[in-house]
Structure 1
Amino acid sequence: MRRVLGSVRARAALGATAVVAVALIAAGVSLLLVLRSNLTGQTDLRAEIAAQNVASQVALDVPYHKLHLPDSDENPVQVVTEDGRLRAASDDLDAVTGTATTAVHPVQSEHDDSDDHDDSDDDHGRSDDPPRGKVSHDHAHFSAGTATVDGDTADYRFASVEVTNGSDDTLIVYAGAPLTTEQSAVSTVRGAMLIGLPALLVVVAGVTWLVTRRALRPVEGIRQEMAAITASEDLARRVPEPGSHDEVARLARTTNETLTALEKSVDRQRRFVADASHELRSPIASLRTQLEVGAAHPELLDVDGAVADTVRLQELAADLLLLARLDAGERPGAARIDLGELVREEASRRQTGRVPVTVHAVGGLEVDGSRGQLARVIGNLLDNAQRHARAGVEVSVRKRDGRLVVEVADDGPGVPPEERERIFERFVRLDDARTRDDGGAGLGLAIARDVAHRHGGTLTVGDGSVFALDLPAPRARDGAGARAGRPGSD
């Protein structure tokens, strides 16, 4: 159960359902509030119309007992004086709340009796007289209450209208309108929402679950294949790539690219270990043989050969150690080095070699980096050139397009175009080089290119056996930049 709830599909389904639930609840509450407000407004309007109708009769001095009142079920009416006495009320009204008085039986007065005798006079002598009273045109006031009509109690909205009769008596007419329609409509909508909302949420959760399951199916395939690769340790396998152009497809392509890079790295490491073991075996075996012969026959000990094998073994161990540090991501130093001076120093150490070395270097060309590593690069390039040159080696140092370039050229046979990248691989020696090599393990150019890359540069070989080391120019030092920014520091 925990695994299911912790899955992406479950979280997506729960998240989508929660969002939709919040949205539907907010929309439903808003709908109910708007519906109730509109229906309440319509109820208030019906109550106000009924109250205005009765108030108009009161303003015309129609006797209270002869007021034409609407049906009690639709519009229960009360006519109340300012001091709270009930002057007229609907006949079937049994009880009322929410108005100025709860009385339902009008209080009779002498004026009401006299009105009975003056009916004929009013009908004949004053039928054309203007209204004696005045109905207030201010907005009606509304209140909520209940009314019991013929024994049935219901909720009502009451509108109150102020009116003045011909005797300048101020009365308030209360007329109610039932809230039955409003309550019925709101109850119907609420019931529909309570039934429909859970059903809709179930549909949303189910659709989200199915859609997410389909969308994540390739991810599960990638996971299963990666688990199989881990179990089998077969880095030649690849995860399936879906035909879509979405994030999952990009994940699959990136995973396969990572597997390809990992496979190459592992193969490279295996070849490195195998080649290193092979290269180490020869000097160790030779040294052991010489020492065993020397132990048995001291007069036959080849001391010079033993020293040479020891030196070769020491150099190979140093090369392997440097490659291990480079593979581990060791960052070069940040010393400021005069590149021309460094080239001249390395060339002077090789003037006693098989062929002479000529240097053409411009002074003042500096580079940031590790002096020892850069010296190793230049030394390896010079050693490689001397092994293959016929008569001489030329080295030039110059600045080109804002970068520093060291070119080492020899007059040898050159490197075939198809082999110009292969010679930078570790433990690779061309056939011609192998016949003329004096013990190199094929690591010099590989180390030189790795060091060049660590210093932000490149190492390439072109026509005519020209090796070009391209390095970035050094950045301005903080102190120099600060001095340059001061006024008068030109």
Structure 2
Amino acid sequence: MSRLFGSVRARATLAATLVVAVALVAAGAAVLLSLRSNLLGEAGTQAERSARDVATELAVGTPYADLSLDVDDRPVQVVDEDGTLVAASDDLERITGTGVETVEPRPAASPDGTGDAGDTDDADDDDDAGEPLEAGEIGERTTVSDGSATIDGDTEDYRFAAVPVKTEDRGRLTVYAGAPLSAEHGAVNTALTVMLIGFPVLLAVVGWVTWLVTRRALRPVEGIRREMAAITASEDLARRVPVPGTHDEVARLASTTNETLAALQTSVERQRRFVADASHELRSPIASLRTQLEVAAAHPELLDLDGAVEDTVRLQHLAADLLLLARLDAGERPADARVDLAALAREEAGGRAGVSVREDAGAAGGVTVAGSRGQLGRVLANLLDNAQRHARSAVEVSVRRDGDLAVVGVADDGEGVPEADRERIFERFVRLDAARSRDDGGAGLGLAIARDVAVRHGGTLTVHDARAGGALFELRLPAA
């Protein structure tokens, strides 16, 4: 059960069904209340109409015996101001809701049935009981109440309307007339029965349709999940998840997943190449150093101490480069210190033969950036090492300001870099001169480290043609 309701499809179906159920209950209750209110209002209108018809007859002096009390077999009572029943419908056996439960009239009438002919001129005494009325006038206010009545053995619920009337010879009378509520009860019960039967069916249809639509909508997601599980099990990052042709959120999810897989594949392949190349680069100095040590162990007089030291230094530099690249790949954030690039350039160029530093007039006060002084110094050192390695005679370092950017250029007068290789030289373990020895050419990590550091500092490192005909490496960083 927990697994069933743990699925998106089940939760969506349940939520949709509950929302529709609440809406149906609210709408059904509103319909029933409105229907009952309208039918009760109509019954009240009918009862008032019947009561006013009888009140009109009383107002013109119609005797009790001649009143139209049995129209449509509806209960009618005429009560005097003392609460005595003076006229009632024939066959009325029981009544409630009017305040007068007697059904046998006891009129205080004269023998001719015209009512008490006593003195009724004192209208003020009669008017104290309710709405002031003149003789022969019917009251405007109607009192409505609910009750029941039994007529000729049939008992029903009624809505009663009470209408006051003032007569000349019989004083103030009240006419109670009822209209049956059977139509209201029948309509409400029918509507309730239809709702009780129809609502569950409608909810079942809503749930079934939501289940089908959700399953169809989530089918591509299940395909993506299965493919991702297969990729995880097989560790084959070359595989891709299926992209549905719906151009919706699921399709965009699949496309993003494939982009993530592609980036992950590139990263893993790059990491594998890096490990392989690092192992290859470490093998040569280690093998050379081991050979020298083995020879020295057997023949101490043949020990090449300078070569051993050189191989050890090369191993130290390579290990430092690999450690820095590992930290950069791990996302290490550079320090947020203020670095004067002009001062840093003079410091790195000091002691290097054939290297000059040129500062533009706008940079006389120093060009400052935010970052790690150590890492930026490593960038300049790598660029200078590369320039000296390829220069014929001179290397020039320039520092200038270009808008919001600080620009450091390192130019040599060598052969330059072919345009087709200007991006490849920034890859790790890449050396364009295949004939160059490893000792002279390095491991091919200097420019890769320089670009990675530049990117980590929010800048760029590119190569162009220098004015002297060699290569010009430009480091552009946001100025502080």
Q: Quickly name the TM-score band, shorter chain normalised.
A: over 0.9
The aligned runs of 1:74-473 (5 Å cut-off) are 75-111=74-110, 113=112, 115=114, 133-167=135-169, 169-351=171-353, 356-361=354-359, 362-363=363-364, 364-431=366-433, 434-435=436-437, 438-464=440-466, 465-473=471-479
Q: Distance in 2 between matches of 1:286 and 1:383?
A: 24
SS of equivalent to 1:4: coil
Provide the residue aligned with 1:50 in structure 2.
Answer: 50
Question: Structure 1 137/85 Cα, relative in aligned 2: closer, same or farther at 3 Å?
Answer: closer
Q: Distance in 2 between matches of 1:397 and 1:417?
A: 24
SS of equivalent to 1:115: coil
Q: Is the Cα contact below 8 Å between 1:72 and 1:92 reproduced in 2?
A: no
Provide the residue aligned with 1:6 in structure 2.
Answer: 6
SS of equivalent to 2:110: helix
Question: Structure 1 439/115 Cα, relative in aligned 2: closer, same or farther at 3 Å?
Answer: closer
Report the more deviating stretch, 64-73 or 429-438: 429-438
Structure 1, unpaired ranges of 5+: 119-131, 475-490
- Tell me the alpha carbon deviations over residues 284-318 of structure 1, each in whole angstroms, 9 at most, x when there is no partner: 11111111111111111111100000000000000
- Tell me the alpha carbon deviations over residues 214-234 of structure 1, each in whole angstroms, 9 at most, x when there is no partner: 111100110010000001000
**RMSD (Å), alpha carbons:** 1.8
Q: Distance in 2 between matches of 1:455 and 1:397?
A: 17
Q: Distance in 2 between matches of 1:281 and 1:82?
A: 124
Q: Is the Cα contact below 8 Å between 2:431 and 2:441 reproduced in 1?
A: no
Deviating 4+ runs (over 6 angstroms): none
* Deviation, structure 1 residue 250: 0.2
Aligned amino acid, residue 84 of structure 1: G
How many positions carry a matched residue from both structures? 457
- Tell me the alpha carbon deviations over residues 335-385 of structure 1, each in whole angstroms, 9 at most, x when there is no partner: 11111010011111322xxxx112102332111111110000000001001
Report the more deviating stretch, 196-205 or 63-72: 63-72
Q: Distance in 1 between matches of 2:155 and 2:444?
A: 107
Q: Is the Cα contact below 8 Å between 2:80 and 2:174 reproduced in 1?
A: yes
* Deviation, structure 1 residue 135: 3.3
* Deviation, structure 1 residue 114: 5.8
Structure 2, unpaired ranges of 5+: 118-133
SS of equivalent to 1:456: coil
- Tell me the alpha carbon deviations over residues 433-474 of structure 1, each in whole angstroms, 9 at most, x when there is no partner: 735861511000000001001111110111241110000011
Aligned amino acid, residue 15 of structure 1: A
Aligned amino acid, residue 159 of structure 1: A
Question: Structure 1 235/436 Cα, relative in aligned 2: closer, same or farther at 3 Å?
Answer: closer
Q: Distance in 2 between matches of 1:433 and 1:365?
A: 39
Q: Is the Cα contact below 8 Å between 2:63 and 2:113 reproduced in 1?
A: no
Q: Is the Cα contact below 8 Å between 1:64 and 1:88 reproduced in 2?
A: yes
* Deviation, structure 1 residue 134: 2.8
Q: Distance in 2 between matches of 1:99 and 1:389?
A: 120
Q: Distance in 2 between matches of 1:407 and 1:186?
A: 91
Q: Distance in 2 between matches of 1:433 and 1:216?
A: 58
Q: Is the Cα contact below 8 Å between 1:229 and 1:237 reproduced in 2?
A: yes
* Deviation, structure 1 residue 71: 2.9
Question: Structure 1 455/433 Cα, relative in aligned 2: closer, same or farther at 3 Å?
Answer: farther
Could you tell me the TM-score, scaled by structure 1's length?
Answer: 0.90
SS of equivalent to 1:375: helix
Indicate the percent of aligned positions where both proteins have the same amino acid: 67
Q: Distance in 2 between matches of 1:164 and 1:392?
A: 129
Q: Is the Cα contact below 8 Å between 2:59 and 2:138 reproduced in 1?
A: no
Provide the residue aligned with 1:40 in structure 2.
Answer: 40
* Deviation, structure 1 residue 394: 1.1
Aligned amino acid, residue 467 of structure 1: F
Q: Distance in 2 between matches of 1:436 and 1:453?
A: 27
* Deviation, structure 1 residue 115: 3.4
SS of equivalent to 1:321: helix
Q: Distance in 1 between matches of 2:374 and 2:253?
A: 42
Question: Structure 1 278/436 Cα, relative in aligned 2: closer, same or farther at 3 Å?
Answer: closer
Q: Distance in 1 between matches of 2:436 and 2:251?
A: 47
* Deviation, structure 1 residue 280: 0.6
SS of equivalent to 1:135: coil
Q: Distance in 1 between matches of 2:435 and 2:299?
A: 36
Question: Structure 1 110/290 Cα, relative in aligned 2: closer, same or farther at 3 Å?
Answer: closer
Could you tell me the TM-score, scaled by structure 2's length?
Answer: 0.92
- Tell me the alpha carbon deviations over residues 373-426 of structure 1, each in whole angstroms, 9 at most, x when there is no partner: 000000000100111111211110000022100011111111111111111111
* Deviation, structure 1 residue 82: 1.8
